[in-house]
Structure 1
Amino acid sequence: MSEFAPLREEPLLTGRRVLIVEDEYFLADDMRSALRALGADIAGPAGDIDDALRILQDGGVIDGAVLDVNIRKQMIYPVARELQARGVPIVFTSGYDKIVLGTEFADVPLWEKPFDHRAMAQGLAGMILHGDPMKQIDPQA
């Protein structure tokens, strides 16, 4: 980075609210930290599907979501469907292969565990800001 390059005045996701649904506490905490580092406000983390649905029903804007595919032996699809119906960008996390998503969610990015939480947060930021999970976000730009 050039010494003359302008620094971003505020983090990428300032004012954006991201829902985290993850039943493993330490993973949820790592994701929360990575997203907060980008300025996001966090909804949750929700540890089960009912909690996630309550967060959605309570109102408030959700700008993006990170969803573990399998939450306490239940598939996250009801939450994913609700978020997609609202036009909210989502990413899945899982220890499973993308084939578990089937055709309904084939276009949703899947981060296979273990993964780099900062890279996932950057990918979600790309989706929220540009509609593109592959867009490289330079936190200093």
Structure 2
Amino acid sequence: MIAHNPGVTGRRVLLVEDEYFIADDMVRVFEELGAEVVGPFSRIEDALAAVSAADRLDAAVLDVNLQGTMVFPLADELTARGIRFVFATGYDHHAIPARFDHVVRCEKPADPEAVITALFGA
């Protein structure tokens, strides 16, 4: 069970993940803590469209590889908009461009509590 984190309640979190069960678990955890999940999206084009259409996003969880497409253009867009995000991935830090060295990488299967702490603090 995930400890209650008042920093999550009312937040809008973009979820970009192409593995159904991982996405489903993340959605459940965020919603149980009072967040609104935007997604999950398994295609970068859909996620980029959602970012463009959203009136507000507070944070995002990004899988690095979406069905063979790397998520870095989306990460660039989130960075430009000042939206905090984490990478939830099986890739090590060498696969992630240096411009994202400051971004927390949660290794899959990502512990939801670690993801939440990285995004919103303890």
**Normalised TM-score (structure 2):** 0.90
Residue number in structure 1 paired with 2:26: 31
Q: Look up the SS of the partner of 2:37 in the other structure.
A: strand
Offset at 1:81? 0.6
Offset at 1:89? 0.4
Offset at 1:37? 2.5
C-alpha separation between the residues in 1 aligned to 2:29 and 2:118?
11
> What are the Cα deviations for residues 42-79 of structure 1, in whole angstroms up to 9, with x where unaligned?
10001110110110121320100000000110110111
Q: Which runs of 4+ in 1 moved over 2 A?
A: none
Cα contact 1:17–1:62 (8 A) shared by 2 = yes
Greater Rg, structure 1 or structure 2?
1
C-alpha separation between the residues in 2 aligned to 1:40 and 1:113?
21
Residue number in structure 2 paired with 1:49: 44
Residue number in structure 2 paired with 1:90: 85
Offset at 1:96? 1.0
In structure 1, runs of 5+ residues without a counterpart are 1-7, 127-136
**Normalised TM-score (structure 1):** 0.78
What count of residue pairs does the alignment treat as equivalent?
119
Compare 103-112 and 33-42 and name the one that shifted more.
Answer: 33-42
The residue type paired with residue 23 of structure 1 is D
C-alpha separation between the residues in 2 aligned to 1:93 and 1:13?
18
Residue number in structure 2 paired with 1:15: 10
1:58-77 mapped onto 2 (5 Å cutoff): 58-77=53-72
Query: Alignment RMSD, CA only?
Result: 1.6
The residue type paired with residue 100 of structure 1 is A
Cα contact 2:44–2:66 (8 A) shared by 1 = yes
In structure 2, runs of 5+ residues without a counterpart are none
